[in-house]
């Protein structure tokens, strides 16, 4: 699948919004993307944006959940 973390020690900063099932997702010209922030061991952070490679919203939610360890 998608390997979003290139640093083994990175911590993901995830805000869970139970009222927004599309949190961390956005649709860019028909393709769904995920975005989140990683905090790195050297006290820096980076914004991660990855294409989920699908036009289907339900599939995008499944892929996001698998990527973020929420499945």
Residue 2 lies in a domain: no
Cβ-based burial of 30 (10 A; exposed 0-12, middle 13-18, buried ≥19): exposed
Q: Does a structural domain hold residue 51? A: yes
Structure confidence by residue, pLDDT tens digits, 18-38: 788 899 999 999 999 999 988
Sign of CA dihedral 67, 69, 70, 71: positive
The whole-number pLDDT of residue 59 equals: 98
Quick check: is 1 in a domain?
A: no
Contact yes or no for 7/41 (Cβ under 8 A): yes
pTM of the model: 0.72
Q: Which domain holds residue 53?
A: 11-20+27-67
Residue 50 within any structural domain of the chain: yes
More confident residue, 37 or 13: 37
Residue 31 located in a structural domain: yes
Residue 36 located in a structural domain: yes
Furthest-apart CA pair in the chain: how many Å?
Answer: 37
Check residue 2 and give its pLDDT. 42
Contact 65, 21 (CB under 8 A): no
**Is 39 within a domain?**
yes
Q: How many structural domains does the chain have?
A: 1
CA nearest to 44, candidates 8, 20, 11, 21: 11
């Amino acid at each position: 699948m998608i390997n979003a973390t290139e640093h083994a020690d990175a911590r993901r900063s995830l805000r869970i919004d139970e009222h927004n099932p599309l949190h961390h997702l956005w649709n860019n010209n028909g393709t769904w993307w995920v975005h989140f922030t990683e905090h790195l061991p050297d006290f820096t952070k980076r914004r991660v944006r990855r294409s989920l490679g699908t036009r289907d919203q339900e599939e995008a939610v499944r892929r996001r959940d698998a990527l973020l360890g929420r499945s």
